[in-house]
A and B are shown apart, each in its own frame.
Chain A
Amino acid sequence: MSTALTASLPHPAIGLGRSIVGRIGFLPALLVVLVAGMSAIDSQFYGVINILNILRNASFLAIVACGQALVIIAGGFDLSVGAVVALASVVTAKAMATASATFPGNNAVIIASGVAAGLGCGLAVGLVNGFCVAKLKVSGFVVTLGTMSATAGVGLMITSGIPVYGMPEIFVKGFGRAQIFGLPTAVYVALAVVLVMVFAQRRTLFGRYAYAIGGNVDAAVVSGVSIQRHIVGTYVVSSVLAALTGILLTAQVGSGQASFGGDRMMLQSIAAAVIGGVSLRGGVGRVEIVTVSALFLTILGNALNLLHIDSRLQPVFLGVIMVAAVALDELSQRRKSRV
């Protein structure tokens, strides 16, 4: 018989982990307050044009943030998403321009080759990231720090910094700037992406393993999960989604530009993930909440614009609010730490 005596009642609940519950309760409330407040203050806020603007921008951010969230949940970090957006934009435009010259008038082929080239960039960068992290075992932060610089460089090399034109009308007018039932196409794409990601995270093997690897990689190894393959998978998803965003941006603006995305979008995607409940330690997070968070950040930026807050001061507000949101969450989560 055991000589150690053990409790008959369970130990008091382990505290620190469940920031999700705290954040679920927190973010939607904040969002409602923001929307209600802005509607009351400025009637322009709920004007059709503004709302469409918000939804479109939120869609772009949401797509990138979903991919970022997946990588962070699996225990990694993707700093290269901004650069991939730019590269994909540029490559797509260039590919379509080249295809136009080779197959003039054949819009289907032109668009297809453009999109394929763009997504292919995402795939390539994702594979490089994944390989370095999984096989070479270098930390995601460092690897993507490198690929970010390299990818941005490639993008600039291709265009020398000049926007690329020459895309078929139908791509821009008929897709990028089109509206279906009054909503921009980007919104539908984002919705589709989010739905797929939600399904993946909850109901697929791949999603389950992403959480396992991020939550306790040793446990995953010992349980026979193939770590390398799944890590590569998360980086590929992240880069491909970033590439998708680049393509959507190109379709909307009408040209491929190496200035799309960039550091700002990268930082925003991580901010959206973190505020949306994804723990930087890995293993925790839900894509739905990240999407709400992306919406929140977009509306926040929009609100600051409408309030005519000097565009130069806006980052200050953004910074303060972001820190405050996370700090409040931390404080409300303060519990006894455990050995």
Chain B
Amino acid sequence: MSDVELSVTAKNRGYMGLPPSQWLWRAVLPIALLVILFSFAAVDRGVLSAANLLNIAQQTSYLALFAMAQTVVILTRGFDLALGPTVSMVSVGTALAMAGATAAGQDTTVVLLAGLGTGFGLGIACGLFNGVVIAILGVSPFVATLGSYNIAIGVATTLSSGRPVQGVPNLYSQIFYGGSVFGVPAAIVITVMIGVGLQLMLARTVFGRSLYITGTNPRAAAVAGLPVKLNLVMTYVLCSTLAALGAIMMTARTGSGEPNLGGSLSLQAIAGAVVGGTSLAGGRGGVGTAVLGALFVTILSNGMNLTRIDGYVQMVVLGSIVIVGVLLDRLRQERG
């Protein structure tokens, strides 16, 4: 192996064996997070109030869930542009199914099951489409998910006729939004459970290991006998299913099926994942990075809201943050 190769790999790749100085760099983002939090608190004490912190936690849950979904596919060098429209589509579908079931006189359990079944079903279908087109037809993730982006938007607006869908039962909203476990709001509970489960999967299962290896070198993974195509399909299905879960949670909050619920979620979720340290080149990232990134973005938005910074200015700030976050991450990589 030539020395040039050694040096090129040294420049471009992060290493696993971390010298002590690396830990310092890893702490940059959490530290920055705290700094920002306390800076806002200096302007408005209310930022650190229990109510607000809970609010932050709850807000983060949604974004974290979507960031986790994107992280899973980003690990394999892909991304899901259709995440936002998938959320919209699932929201509309779930509400319609529940409204329909209620109208048909079914009892609440059946109604809920109809809703969840439709919601997750749509999510899985979307994931299958993405996965098959990308893994089996060999289309790039960008084009494939751009395609499903358009398809999902079309389906969402058509099914809903462009208007919010009413008929979401109260129990549903209770379970996925209003309720709480030991005082912790439902959204947080669900996200934490999913996060723990996902991290366990990534760190401790063959599937998780395959994701990291496939993202690092897909050719080598295939030659070594890993079922790369199947794994990719499963990855996109997982992403869309997590998105569906997020949609179900958000629908519970709005109380209706919203054809524009997803909005610009796709890019926001990618931004969240990337700010936290997930690398678009594949093979780096996890639940931790997704949550960290989501937390960072949420704290920033929350602080800016409370200190009454103009909504449009917020957009500018958030945009710049993405760049700064990635820059920090790259510096972190180089020092390693």
Contacts and interface: CB of A to CB of B under 8 A. Distances in A.
Direct contact of A and B (CB under 8 A): yes
Interface in A17-40: none
Contact of B139 (A270, A315, A327): A327
Contact of B140 (A139, A263, A267, A280): A280
Contact of B150 (A151, A154, A319): A319
Interface in A132-156: 132, 136-139, 141-143, 145-154, 156
B336 to A, nearest CB: 15
B323 A142 contact: yes
Interface string A88-105: 000000000000000000
A316 B264 contact: no
B138 A153 contact: no
A312 B158 CA distance: 5
B320 interface: yes
A5 interface: no
Contact of B313 (A143, A153, A270, A316): A153
A320 interface: yes
A318 interface: yes
Nearest to A133: B323
A75 B144 CA distance: 20
Interface string B259-303: 000001001001100100000110000000000000000000000
Given A150-B316, A280-B140, A320-B147, A142 B322 contact: yes
Contacts of B153: 315
Contacts of B264: 263
B312 interface: yes
Contacts of B274: 142, 145
B82 to A, nearest CB: 9
Contacts of A218: 8
Interface string B117-145: 00000000000000001000111101110
Contacts of B146: 267, 270-271, 319, 322
A270 B154 contact: no
A313 B319 CA distance: 32
B57 interface: no
A156 B312 contact: yes
A242 B11 CA distance: 34
B315 interface: yes
Nearest to A222: B4
A42 interface: no
Contact of A157 (B142, B149, B158, B316): B316
A150 B139 contact: no
B84 to A, nearest CB: 10
Contacts of B143: 271, 274, 322-323, 326
A314 interface: yes
B140 A274 contact: yes
B312 A154 contact: yes
A323 B133 contact: yes
B322 A145 contact: yes
Contacts of B314: 153
A143 B316 contact: no
A326 B326 contact: no
Interface string A314-337: 111111101100110011001000
A274 B144 CA distance: 11
B155 interface: yes
Contacts of A150: 315-320
The size bracket of the interface on A is: 35 or more
A289 to B, nearest CB: 16
B150 A274 contact: no
A323 B162 contact: no
B151 interface: yes
A157 B311 CA distance: 8
Contacts of B8: 218
B133 A316 contact: no
A146 B139 contact: no
Nearest to B4: A218
Given A138-B323, A142-B274, A157-B310, A312 B157 contact: yes
A147 to B, nearest CB: 6
B139 A153 contact: no
Given A149-B316, A314-B154, A327 B137 contact: yes
B327 interface: yes
Contacts of A318: 150
B91 interface: no
Nearest to B266: A263
A270 B149 CA distance: 14
B313 A157 contact: yes
A308 B158 CA distance: 14
B137 A153 contact: no
Nearest to A329: B139
B148 A148 contact: no
A177 B261 CA distance: 37
Contacts of B154: 312-317, 319
A265 to B, nearest CB: 13
B221 interface: no
A296 to B, nearest CB: 15
A157 B310 CA distance: 8
A138 B332 CA distance: 13
**Pairs A-B, 5 closest by C-beta atoms:** A153-B315, A150-B319, A319-B150, A149-B319, A316-B154
Given A145-B322, A313-B154, 20 more contacts: A138-B330, A142-B274, A145-B267, A145-B270, A146-B322, A146-B323, A147-B319, A150-B316, A150-B317, A153-B319, A312-B157, A312-B161, A316-B154, A316-B158, A319-B150, A322-B143, A322-B147, A323-B143, A326-B140, A334-B138
Interface of B: 8, 81, 133, 137-140, 142-144, 146-151, 153-155, 157-158, 161-162, 264, 267, 270-271, 274, 280-281, 310-323, 326-327, 330
13 contacts: A142-B323, A146-B271, A146-B319, A150-B319, A153-B313, A153-B315, A154-B316, A156-B315, A157-B310, A271-B143, A319-B150, A322-B150, A331-B137
Interface of A: 79, 132, 136-139, 141-143, 145-154, 156-157, 160, 218, 263, 267, 270-271, 274, 280, 310, 312-320, 322-323, 326-327, 330-331, 334
